[in-house]
Structure 1
Amino acid sequence: MRLPSLVWRVHLRAKSQSATWLSPLLPEVDLPEWLAPAHSGLTAYAELLAGAGVERGLIGPREVPRLWDRHLLNCAVVVDPESGLIPDGASVIDVGSGAGLPGLVWAIARPDLDIVLLEPLLRRATFLEEAVSILGLDRVRVVRGRAEECTLSAAVVTARAVAPLDRLLGWVARLVAPGGEVLALKGSSAAEEIAVAQAAGIAGTYELISCGVGIVEPPATVVRIRELQRPRSAKR
C-alpha cells in the first residue's frame, strides 16, 4: 500500500479530569487522505477513551499517549476502501467490542457500514451506548450478550484482543452470514494462531494480511478467514 501524498495532522489535547493519571497532550498523528473526513469523529472518540474510558477501566492510563497509533489508526487502516477487505454497505458484528475497538473506529471511518457492537459486560455495553449517542453514529447499535448465544449474523465478523484464534472461531462461526468472512485483528502471534486453528480442524480459507504499511508502525495484522466451517464442538 503506498503512502498517500496528502496527510492531515491532528493535534489532540485530552480532557484531563484526573491529572494524576493522564498526560495532558496526546501525540500528533498523520491521517491518510481517505480518513481525513473522519478526523473530528476520531478525535471525539479519543477524548472519550482518554476520559471516561480510563475512569471506568476500559483502557489503561498508559494507553492514552498511544491511543492514535496503537489503537485508532491500527483499527482504521483495516477499513481503507482501497484494501477491498470490507465492501460498501456491509453488515459487521464486532465481537467482544469492549471500549469499541475496532467497531466504533470503523463506524467513524466508514459511515456506510451497519455495525453491531456485541459486548457481554454491562459496564462496557453502557459505555458503548453512551459513545454511540455522543458520536452520533446512526448505523451502530449495541447488543449486550455473548457470541455463543447471539442469533444475529453479518457479512463481516471481527474481533480484537478477545481470544486465541481457535477459540474465537468456535464462538463466532455461527455469526458469519453465507459468503461472509471473519477479520480477526491480531498481533505478532497471528501465524502461530492460524497453525493452531488449522491443527484443531477448523476448516476455512486463511489469509494473513498487513494493513496500513507506511501509515502505522508496525502495520495492523489481520487474519482473514473465508469459507469458515463451524467446528463440530460448537454445533448443537
Structure 2
Amino acid sequence: MPVPVNNSIITSLIRNAGLEITAEQIAKIKSYINLLLESNKQVNLTAIVEEEEIWRKHVLDSLLLFCALEIPAGARIIDVGTGAGIPGFILKIYRPDMQLTLLEAQQKKVKFLEKVVARLGLNGVDCLWGRAEEVGQNRNYREKYNLAVARAVAPLITLAEYCLPLVQVGGFMVAYKGPAGEQELAAAEKAINLLGGGETKIWRHQLPEGEEMRILVIIKKEKTTPPAYPRRVGVPAKRPLK
C-alpha cells in the first residue's frame, strides 16, 4: 500500500509556486484523491495513481491559475470537459467562494462528480452533463461566466470555440497546456478574434522535481461571440476555424 503524502511535503510543494494552503484544504483534497483512486478502479478517471504525483501533476498544476490570474470573489467558473473534476474541484476547494459548473459529456463521469460533491459537502457546484457545443448555445449558460477553464481537452483552436461562447465580455478563458501551448496560440489567433477574444497572455511555470513545463494560455473576452458559434456537435473538432 502506498505511503500517504504528509502535509509538510504538500505545503512545501504548494509554496514552491508562491501559494499557501491550509490543513483544512489539504484534508479536503486528500478526501477527493481517495474518492478519485477508489472510483478509478471502475471508471477510467486518471492515469496517475501515485498520491504524490497526483499532488504535483494534478493539484499543483490546477492551483497555478491563482498565480497567473486574479479571480474576483464569488466568480462564476465553468470547467469545460472536466473529466474527473480537474481542475474544477481543486479550484473550488481552494476558493470555496467561487460558483463552479463542471461540464462533462460522459454520464458515468458526471455520476462520479456528483458523488464527490455529496461526499465532500461542496456548495455552489453544478455538475452538468452535456456537450460544449450545445451548452454554448443555451441561453442559461451562454456568456454567463467570469471564467472558463479547460485542461487536456483539445487543441486551443478547438478549445476556444468550446469556451469563449460561455464567457461574458470582460471575463477570461484559461487553457492549461504543456510546452506546445505557444504554438497552439499562434495557430488559434484568428479564431480567438472571431469568437470575441482579445488580449492574450502566456504564463509559464516549471513543476518541481521534474522537467514538465506548464503553460497557461489566458484569453480575455472583449466582444460578444457571434450567434453562429459554437457550431453543431463535432464540427469544431473536425473542422477547426481558420
Q: Give the TM interval when normalised to the shorter protein.
A: 0.7 to 0.9
Give runs of ≥4 in structure 1 deviating > 4 Å: 61-65, 211-219
Residue 234 of structure 1 is matched in structure 2 by 229
Once the two structures are TM-superposed, the CA of residue 35 in structure 1 deviates from its matched residue by 1.6
CA contact (8 A) 1:69 1:216 kept: no
Given the superposition, is the C-alpha separation of residues 228 and 215 from structure 1 closer, same or farther in structure 2, using an over 3 Å criterion?
farther
Once the two structures are TM-superposed, the CA of residue 172 in structure 1 deviates from its matched residue by 1.7
- The answer to whether the aligner puts 1:91 opposite 2:76 as a matched pair is yes
CA contact (8 A) 1:77 1:212 kept: no
Given the superposition, is the C-alpha separation of residues 196 and 217 from structure 1 closer, same or farther in structure 2, using an over 3 Å criterion?
same
Q: Residues of 2 paired with 1:223 and 1:139: CA distance?
A: 26
**Could you list the runs of 5+ residues in structure 2 that have no partner in the other structure?**
232-242
Query: What is the aligned-residue identity percentage?
Result: 32
**Could you list the runs of 5+ residues in structure 1 that have no partner in the other structure?**
1-22
What amino acid does structure 2 have at the position aligned with 1:35?
I
Given the superposition, is the C-alpha separation of residues 231 and 202 from structure 1 closer, same or farther in structure 2, using an over 3 Å criterion?
farther
Residue 78 of structure 1 is matched in structure 2 by 65
Q: Residues of 2 paired with 1:60 and 1:39: CA distance?
A: 22
- The answer to whether the aligner puts 1:193 opposite 2:184 as a matched pair is yes
Once the two structures are TM-superposed, the CA of residue 63 in structure 1 deviates from its matched residue by 5.5
Residue 59 of structure 1 is matched in structure 2 by 46
Which of residues 131, 136, 140 is equivalent to 2:121? 136
Which of residues 5, 22, 29 is equivalent to 1:42? 29
Q: Residues of 1 paired with 2:49 and 2:208: CA distance?
A: 25
Which of residues 198, 201, 215 is equivalent to 1:207? 201
Q: Secondary structure at the match of 1:191?
A: helix
What amino acid does structure 1 have at the position aligned with 2:218?
R
Q: Residues of 2 paired with 1:139 and 1:170: CA distance?
A: 26
Residue 86 of structure 2 is matched in structure 1 by 101
What amino acid does structure 2 have at the position aligned with 1:169?
A
Residue 104 of structure 2 is matched in structure 1 by 119
Q: Residues of 2 paired with 1:26 and 1:218: CA distance?
A: 23
Please give the per-residue CA displacement for 1:68-123, whole angstroms capped at 9, x wherever unaligned.
1000111023235xx54311210000001100000011111110100000111100
Given the superposition, is the C-alpha separation of residues 235 and 131 from structure 1 closer, same or farther in structure 2, using an over 3 Å criterion?
closer
What amino acid does structure 1 have at the position aligned with 2:192?
I
Alignment TM-score, normalising by the size of structure 2 = 0.78
CA contact (8 A) 2:147 2:171 kept: yes
Once the two structures are TM-superposed, the CA of residue 220 in structure 1 deviates from its matched residue by 3.8
Q: Residues of 2 paired with 1:72 and 1:126: CA distance?
A: 21
CA contact (8 A) 1:186 1:222 kept: yes
Q: What is the root-mean-square deviation in Å for CA atoms of aligned residues? A: 2.6
Given the superposition, is the C-alpha separation of residues 181 and 217 from structure 1 closer, same or farther in structure 2, using an over 3 Å criterion?
same
